[in-house]
Amino acid sequence: MSAEPKPAPRDATSPERRWVRTLVASLLVVVALAAAATARVVWAGEKEVVKSTEALEKGDADDAIVHARAAALWYAPGAPHVRVAYARLMTIAKEAEQRKLWETALFAYRAIVTASKSTQWVTTPHAAEADEATRAIARIEAKTGVRAPEASTEPTNVIEQRILTSLAEDTRPSFFFRAVLGASFIGMLIGLASFMRFGVDESGRVRLVGAVPALVAAILGLVGYCAALFLA
Check residues 220 and 203 and name the one with the higher pLDDT. Answer: 220
pLDDT for position 86? 95
Check residues 226 and 61 and name the one with the higher pLDDT. Answer: 61
Please report which confidence band the pLDDT of residue 209 belongs to, taking 50, 70 and 90 as the band edges: confident
pTM of the model: 0.60
pLDDT for position 39? 81
pLDDT for position 229? 54
pLDDT 10s digits, 11-45: 445 555 566 556 556 666 666 666 777 788 889 99
pLDDT 10s digits, 168-179: 444 445 566 667
pLDDT for position 114? 93
pLDDT for position 171? 45
pLDDT for position 150? 44
pLDDT for position 77? 80
Q: Is the pLDDT of residue 160 over 60?
A: no
String of DSSP letters for the chain = -PPPPPPPPPPTTSHHHHHHHHHHHHHHHHHHHHHHHHHHHHHHHHHHHHHHHHHHHTT-HHHHHHHHHHHHHS--TT-HHHHHHHHHHHHHHHHHHHTT-HHHHHHHHHHHHHHHHHT-SSS-TTHHHHHHHHHHHHHHHHHHSPPPGGGTTS-HHHHHHHHHHHHTS--SPPHHHHHHHHHHHHHHHHHHHHHHHHSB-TTS-B-HHHHHHHHHHHHHHHHHHHHHHHH-
Q: Is the pLDDT of residue 203 over 70?
A: no
- Mean pLDDT is lowest, of 46-55, 61-70, 125-134, 195-204, for 195-204
pLDDT for position 152? 46
pLDDT for position 184? 77
pLDDT for position 221? 77
Q: Is the pLDDT of residue 198 over 50?
A: yes
Please report which confidence band the pLDDT of residue 217 belongs to, taking 50, 70 and 90 as the band edges: confident
Check residues 205 and 23 and name the one with the higher pLDDT. Answer: 205
